[in-house]
Chains A and B, each alone.
Chain A
Amino acid sequence: MERSDEWVRVERTSAFRELRQKRKAFILPATIFFLVFYFGLPFLTAFTTVLDVNVIGAINLAYVYAFAQFAMTWILMHLYVGRANRWDDLVDRARHEAAEDDESGRTGGTGGSE
Chain B
Amino acid sequence: MSDRAISIIFFVLIIALTLGITVWASRQNKSTSDHYVAGGAIKGWQNGLAISGDYLSAASFLGIAGAISLTGFSGFYLSIGFLVAYLVVLLLVAEPLRNLGKYTLADMLASRFNKSSVRSAAALSTIAISMFYMIAQLNGAGALIELLLGINYTLSVIVIGILMTVYIVAGGMVATTWIQIVKAVLLIAGTLALSVLVLAQPSIGFNPVNLFNEVDSQIGADMVVPPPPAGLVAGLDVISLNIALVLGTAGLPHILIRFLTVPDAKTARSSIVTATWIIGLFYLLTPVLGYGAALFVGQDAIAAQNPAGNTAAPQLAEALGGPIFFAFISAVAFATIVAVVAGLVVAASSAFAHDFYSNVIRGGNASEQEQFRAARLTAVGISVAAILLAIPAASLNVAFLVALAFAVAASANVPVILLTIFWKRFNTTGAVMGILVGLFSCIILIILSPNVMTGPNPEPPLTPIIPIDPIFPFVYPALFSVPLGFLGCYLGTLLGGGGAEREREQGLQVSYDEIYVRSLTGISNIEQEIQESTPQEEPRTT
| A102 and B84 contact, CB distance less than 8 A | no
| A38 and B246 contact, CB distance less than 8 A | yes
Q: How far is the CA of A51 from the CA of B229 in the complex (A)?
A: 12
Q: Does B465 contact A (CB under 8 A)?
A: no
| A11 and B517 contact, CB distance less than 8 A | yes
Q: How far is the CA of A87 from the CA of B92 in the complex (A)?
A: 15
Q: How far is the CA of A7 from the CA of B112 in the complex (A)?
A: 14
Shortest distance from the beta carbon of A93 to any chain B beta carbon, whole Å: 10
| B226 and A52 contact, CB distance less than 8 A | yes
Interface residues of B in 74-101 (CB under 8 A from A): 76-77, 80-81, 83-84, 86-88, 90-92, 95
* Count of B interface residues, CB-CB < 8 Å: 63
Shortest distance from the beta carbon of B393 to any chain A beta carbon, whole Å: 28
With known contacts A23-B520, A63-B212, A102–B526 Cβ distance under 8 A? yes
Q: Does B300 contact A (CB under 8 A)?
A: no
Shortest distance from the beta carbon of B89 to any chain A beta carbon, whole Å: 10
With known contacts A10-B517, A62-B73, A81–B209 Cβ distance under 8 A? no
Interface residues of B in 216-258 (CB under 8 A from A): 216-217, 221, 224-229, 234-236, 238-239, 241-242, 246
Q: Does B368 contact A (CB under 8 A)?
A: no
Q: How far is the CA of A30 from the CA of B283 in the complex (A)?
A: 23
Shortest distance from the beta carbon of B220 to any chain A beta carbon, whole Å: 11
| B276 and A58 contact, CB distance less than 8 A | no
| B272 and A58 contact, CB distance less than 8 A | no
Shortest distance from the beta carbon of B318 to any chain A beta carbon, whole Å: 27
| A20 and B520 contact, CB distance less than 8 A | yes
| A49 and B269 contact, CB distance less than 8 A | no
Which residues of A have CB within 8 Å of B527?
A: 6, 99, 102
With known contacts A70-B280, A95-B530, A3–B238 Cβ distance under 8 A? no
* Chain A binder among B26-34, B301-309, B508-516: B508-516
Query: Residues on A close to B: CB < 8 A?
Result: 3-4, 6-11, 16, 19-20, 23, 27, 30-31, 34-35, 38-39, 41-43, 45-49, 51-52, 56-60, 62-63, 66-67, 69-70, 72-74, 76-78, 80-81, 84-85, 88, 91, 94-96, 98-99, 102
Pairs across A and B, CB under 8 Å, 13 listed: A34-B87, A46-B226, A46-B239, A49-B229, A59-B209, A62-B73, A69-B80, A69-B83, A69-B84, A77-B90, A77-B272, A80-B90, A94-B521
